[in-house]
Structure 1
Amino acid sequence: MPTTLKDVALRAGVSIKTVSNVIHGNIHVKEEKRQRVLQALKELNYQPNLPARYLRKGRVGILSLVIPELRNPYFAEIAEAVIDAAAEQSYRVMLDFTSGTYEHERQAIEKLHSNLIDGIILNSLMLKAEDLHIQGNEKLPIVLLGEHSLDMEYDHVTFDNVAAAYAATTHLLQLGRRQIAVIGFSRQMQRETTLLRFRGYAQALADAGLSLQESLLVYTPTAYDRESGAQAVHTLLERQQPFDALFCFNDLMAFGAMRALYERGLHVPEDIAVVGFDDLEEARFSVPSLTTVAPDKRQIGTTAVTRLLQCINGPETHVPGTVTVPFRLTMRESTGFTPQ
């Protein structure tokens, strides 16, 4: 016979109500009891009747995660955190990616309706506020990720890009670097990511008494990839512009930049110190290992799921808001530090 809530309650020494609260993610359960219930669920291999549960609540048990791309490991790590957090609450995740274009983002939203999913976690780069008011999904709970907030009454999970870029630039300045080039600068400044990280960079220079130098800003295409980073280094060297440090707006561009520096006979960090952004797993294993800004990607994913389920489970009482998760600067060999 299948394991019941009563079986789990007896094994854990708690009430059936407590078991139900743990299964449904109720936060008002003492941690000691929660751990006993979780252990009993594992020992008894409890399998909830998900179709019946969702049918009773008028739900389908599926969340949608819409991200700009799959090739960038940053989004893959965010997706993994979302999927893990959703699974803990017995939800599955439907994944879609948009290449960061307006057309694809709008198509992704248009095809999502409440008969298919219970809510959306959306990392948009291009959508406008009115794009989310599509007939059929007006009432779908939505949590936004990233820098693009849309200025709407939705939960938004992000981190302080300005402060993070400021910390990265200040780190290079404290090493005595004064000619700090930027890779990832956009002439149009259309993406919030570019604007916010550039703002932090510029503020750090200003606070150090240094002025911006146009010749140290390398304009890159919209793709924040390794090839863009490599090409940016070649562009800098062709300008014959002296520089002693690189601040790359993501790790992928930093990896490409370090490869290009190697090919041109320059050493990291002796000749050029390099800082990236995202703290991808590859940053630990590159040669040299990469100093980088490390947003708490696990917390981003977990918080997004938590906020979305709060909205799903209590739309009348849930108050949307912005959650800013922490970051840290992880110092490694590319700026002269031995990894811990």
Structure 2
Amino acid sequence: MNIKITLKKIAQEAGVSQATVSRIVNQNTNVSPELTEKVEAAARKLGVELPREHNNISQTHERCHVVGILLSDLSNPYFQEILKGVVDEAKLLDYGVQVFETYEDPRSEEESFQHIGRFNLDGVIMCASRLSRYRLLNFYQKTQLPMVLVNRYIKNSNICSILIDYEKAMIQATAHLIALGHKRIGFLAGPASSESAKVRMNGIRIAMERDGLELDEEYCPRCFPTIEGGFQAMTSLLSITKNRQPTAILAYNDLIAIGALRAVRSRGLRIPEDISLIGIDNIEMASHSNPPLTTISPPKKQMGSLAMRTIYRMNTGDYEHSEGYIELDAPLTLRSSTTVCAER
């Protein structure tokens, strides 16, 4: 009997992932009795016997009700809000949360995978992962742990992706700047390894092309997603000849935007009178900057809560593959950092 083919057929009949069937075969008690019965019934209907692997570790394993979450930067208020959403939901579900910080470094993510193996986790939430698709899938295939990706998409029915429609959000933000008369628009583009940065830049490009404008690559420096990264990137843009400098800037996140604001001031220029500025994330600091920052507002706590609830549902058998791609809107919050272009 070809076990791999059999497991796939059983999974299809039961309406669950092949990974779930594999956990039942390995007698992993992370799977609920109800879901186990559903899979066993599917096997009986197909007229096959569910194969069993006798694994002493699996037999002694008990559900620990702890979920791991990988975050790139715990000092970033954006990730703090997502983590709060995860923790608050975990408390409601009687789960604990184990945090791994990866410092925007794919190598650190790889090292975290090694540590995850030492914990008896019930699932993993990965926020803004910088790892390649191959590495992520390899980790999933090795562990068979329920996995949710936040701000990252991988086409795999066993992995849930929760994303913001940043292309739509950036189209809206860019259209706002164009309506104010801005034509030379820049983008402080964040990390080169960020898939989300590419989506955001594409949204800017789409909006500009609709109005017959072009996004100049010279106006799109890469930078660390920090205040210092924003300061340095904006300083480089301000070194361009004044009559060629962008009159409006979109930033990869609010921290970069705040750094850009400081760079503009250091040159004796003003926001928004000389340069309009829009951030992303709507962190608390954005509303208290001077001037208060216009920004795109993703539902950060909701994303964390939804990720935690999805892990729980994956473990209890209440998760459908059709729910594996969740996209949320992020509206533009208008404050005081944008105005009519002075060259209009």
TM tier relative to shorter chain? 0.7 to 0.9
User: Contact 1:106–1:127 at 8 Å: present in 2 too?
Assistant: no
Q: Which residue of 176, 179, 184 maps to 2:181?
A: 176
Aligned: 1:250 with 2:253:
yes
Q: Which residue of 95, 103, 110 maps to 2:107?
A: 103
C-alpha distance in structure 1 between counterparts of 2:231 and 2:150, whole Å: 28
Q: Which residue of 204, 212, 215 maps to 2:215?
A: 212
Alignment of 1:158-237 (within 5 A): 158-184=163-189, 189-217=192-220, 219-221=221-223, 223-237=224-238
C-alpha distance in structure 2 between counterparts of 1:212 and 1:133, whole Å: 37
* Map of 1:264 onto structure 2: 267
* Map of 1:313 onto structure 2: 316
* Map of 1:14 onto structure 2: none
How has the CA–CA distance of structure 1 residues 260 and 131 changed in structure 2, closer, same or farther, with 3 Å as cutoff?
A: closer
How has the CA–CA distance of structure 1 residues 229 and 131 changed in structure 2, closer, same or farther, with 3 Å as cutoff?
A: closer
How has the CA–CA distance of structure 1 residues 144 and 135 changed in structure 2, closer, same or farther, with 3 Å as cutoff?
A: closer
Displacement of 1:336 = 4.5
Partner SS, residue 63 of structure 1: strand
User: Contact 2:297–2:331 at 8 Å: present in 1 too?
Assistant: yes
Which ranges in structure 2 are unaligned for 5 or more consecutive residues? 1-59
How has the CA–CA distance of structure 1 residues 115 and 257 changed in structure 2, closer, same or farther, with 3 Å as cutoff?
A: closer
Displacement of 1:130 = 4.5
Deviations 1:118-175 (A, max 9, x none): 111112111433444459952211111113x233230111111111111111111111
Q: TM-score, normalised by structure 1?
A: 0.76
User: Contact 2:282–2:297 at 8 Å: present in 1 too?
Assistant: yes
* Map of 2:90 onto structure 1: 86
C-alpha distance in structure 2 between counterparts of 1:115 and 1:257, whole Å: 41
How has the CA–CA distance of structure 1 residues 177 and 158 changed in structure 2, closer, same or farther, with 3 Å as cutoff?
A: same
How has the CA–CA distance of structure 1 residues 151 and 114 changed in structure 2, closer, same or farther, with 3 Å as cutoff?
A: farther
Alignment of 1:43-54 (within 5 A): none
How has the CA–CA distance of structure 1 residues 163 and 109 changed in structure 2, closer, same or farther, with 3 Å as cutoff?
A: same
User: Contact 2:189–2:197 at 8 Å: present in 1 too?
Assistant: yes
Which ranges in structure 1 are unaligned for 5 or more consecutive residues? 1-55
Q: TM-score, normalised by structure 2?
A: 0.75
User: Contact 1:105–1:127 at 8 Å: present in 2 too?
Assistant: no
How has the CA–CA distance of structure 1 residues 176 and 144 changed in structure 2, closer, same or farther, with 3 Å as cutoff?
A: same
* Map of 2:281 onto structure 1: 278
Q: Which amino acid in the other structure matches residue 171 of structure 2? A: Y
User: Contact 1:132–1:138 at 8 Å: present in 2 too?
Assistant: no
**What is the count of residue pairs matched by the alignment?**
277
* Map of 2:70 onto structure 1: 66
Q: CA RMSD in A?
A: 2.4
C-alpha distance in structure 1 between counterparts of 2:209 and 2:141, whole Å: 49
Q: Which amino acid in the other structure matches residue 247 of structure 2? A: D
How has the CA–CA distance of structure 1 residues 336 and 119 changed in structure 2, closer, same or farther, with 3 Å as cutoff?
A: same
How has the CA–CA distance of structure 1 residues 280 and 95 changed in structure 2, closer, same or farther, with 3 Å as cutoff?
A: same
User: Contact 2:148–2:307 at 8 Å: present in 1 too?
Assistant: yes
Partner SS, residue 323 of structure 1: strand
Q: Which residue of 145, 151, 170 maps to 1:146?
A: 151
C-alpha distance in structure 1 between counterparts of 2:164 and 2:136, whole Å: 24
Deviations 1:262-312 (A, max 9, x none): 111111111111000111110111110000000111211111111111101
* Map of 2:4 onto structure 1: none
Q: Which residue of 327, 332, 340 maps to 1:329?
A: 332
User: Contact 1:246–1:273 at 8 Å: present in 2 too?
Assistant: yes
Aligned: 1:301 with 2:286:
no
User: Contact 1:114–1:140 at 8 Å: present in 2 too?
Assistant: no
Query: Higher relative CO (CA 8 A, sep ≥ 6), structure 1 or 2?
Result: 2
Q: Which amino acid in the other structure matches residue 103 of structure 1? A: R
User: Contact 1:185–1:198 at 8 Å: present in 2 too?
Assistant: no
Q: Which amino acid in the other structure matches residue 334 of structure 1? A: S
Moved more, 224-233 or 291-300: 224-233
Q: Which amino acid in the other structure matches residue 231 of structure 1? A: Q
Q: Percent identity?
A: 30
Displacement of 1:111 = 2.4
User: Contact 1:229–1:256 at 8 Å: present in 2 too?
Assistant: yes
* Map of 1:7 onto structure 2: none
User: Contact 1:113–1:137 at 8 Å: present in 2 too?
Assistant: no
Deviations 1:44-68 (A, max 9, x none): xxxxxxxxxxxx9931011111111
